[in-house]
A and B are shown apart, each in its own frame.
Chain A
Amino acid sequence: MDQAIAFSLLISTWMLFQIRRIGDSVGILAFQSTILAFSAGAMWYKTGISHLLIAAVLTLLVKALLIPFILQYTIKKIDIKREVERFTSKYISLLLALALSAAGFYLASRLELPGKEHGQPYLAVSIILIFLGTLIMIDHKKAIMQGVGLITIENGLFLIAQSLSYGMPLIVELGIFFDMLVTVIVIGILSFRIHSTFESLNTEKMQNLKG
């Protein structure tokens, strides 16, 4: 069960490297967050720690529904050329993603992190999510995609907290969810303004400040 969930998380993240249009990333992100909610739910089922259930429900509501909705709304409102633009080609970026995943597995086996019994299977995947989120942020030129990378990193952090200590205290998790939501709203607002000023979401156009 855990293996299946961890593997689906990996697949969903790899899919982010295969998209053609920005809009596709939103669906994948929603899928990734749903699986994340499942992992928290599965963990609750096994340990009976009630805040894991609340975290699962919140993940579903905030990360799988609300955040994708905001991103979708922004993309629709901007109505730009919706193809993704990368610094590398689609195949090279997938190759890099696979290499980083291998590195993540290796790192997790060497780190000797004190993973909890039920969380252990997720440890490697959570490190990989952080790596791949960073790769997305570096590789993509469109502003919105950097937001997508950020959410992936955040998902990885959620999973790491869950596998090392069955999650942070509930009230802190609530704060982090709230933060995530505000971050995505601010990313939406700024993307919108960037697009109306530069007529593009390409961050390569924003290189006037130097020195």
Chain B
Amino acid sequence: MNLQCPLPTTNKDSIRLGHGSGGEMTQQLLKEFIQPLFKNTWIDQAHDSATLPWDSDRLVFTTDSFVITPLFFPGGDIGKLAVYGTVNDLAMGGAEAKFLSCSLILEEGLPFNTLKKVLQSMAGAAEETGVKLVTGDTKVVERGKGDGIYINTSGVGSLLSNHPIDPSYIRPGDRILLSGDIGRHGITVMASREGLEFETALTSDCAPLNAAISALLQGGIPLHCLRDLTRGGLATALVELAETSGQAFELDEAQIPVCESVYGACEMLGLDPLYVANEGRFVAFIPAEYADQASAILREERVGASCAIIGKVTGKPSAQVILKNSLGCDRLLQRLPGEQLPRIC
């Protein structure tokens, strides 16, 4: 009997979908191509936004691109994502977004009605978050060479906080505050894209986070680090932060909020909610003595009603994230390797 398995040589000389998953392959792309070629102090910070030496070091700058199918989904659309995403990236650096650019790549044949709906949604999101969309660009690609509409937004803002909010300021003993239940966005979009129906209707968690961050800062919470949870989910974000900060985190699985519908869908599809995408959730690293106060402030905010303290920074030497389950057993979390694919059975 042959007990061996063939060794494949997979073609890896071009971009694959996994390079956009936010996980291990995205990190490879960043580390092997983008950071070495664009090398400078600010890109090497590897944070959601860069604080620039301008206007007394209080100018913060970021950019993000948005590609999603379908363009409209329960609880949001590509226009909202494009504004909230960049506003949120600035908020994660402790900055208030002021001005956004809007670059549109449109596919030939996109109905004006669809474009108008997306732009109206962007305008509404800008008003809600207090930013101005002040400049932009439009390109059109041939039919079949795009998914209707791609949007890039860049944003500038100014720091609200007098102290840096950055992975390098994460300290042993810090508590990890999660702003709400995880996985709604990823499951909603997947269900919408694939025509899956669940017993309870799900809506995306897509939301602006600036008001919540502003409330925490105004409440006097010394935020050490913030990170919004997007592709790759909670687990990937925390693994990245552990590696960047050199700190070890311990999470209590029982404290991580997951709504019943997401839980059920993940069970059915063989997905792990810890790795499912979010668009309106963040984690905050806070000194232990401020944790309860921060939770109370966040609970008053629309996006933070189901917030929870999910873990702590242990001070152990290895930069790892350990999940403690209800049985008291440990599980080591890793980055999402490529894309999460639904299982066969």
The reply to whether chain A is a binding partner of chain B is no
Residues of B within 8 A of A (CB): none
Residues of A within 8 A of B (CB): none
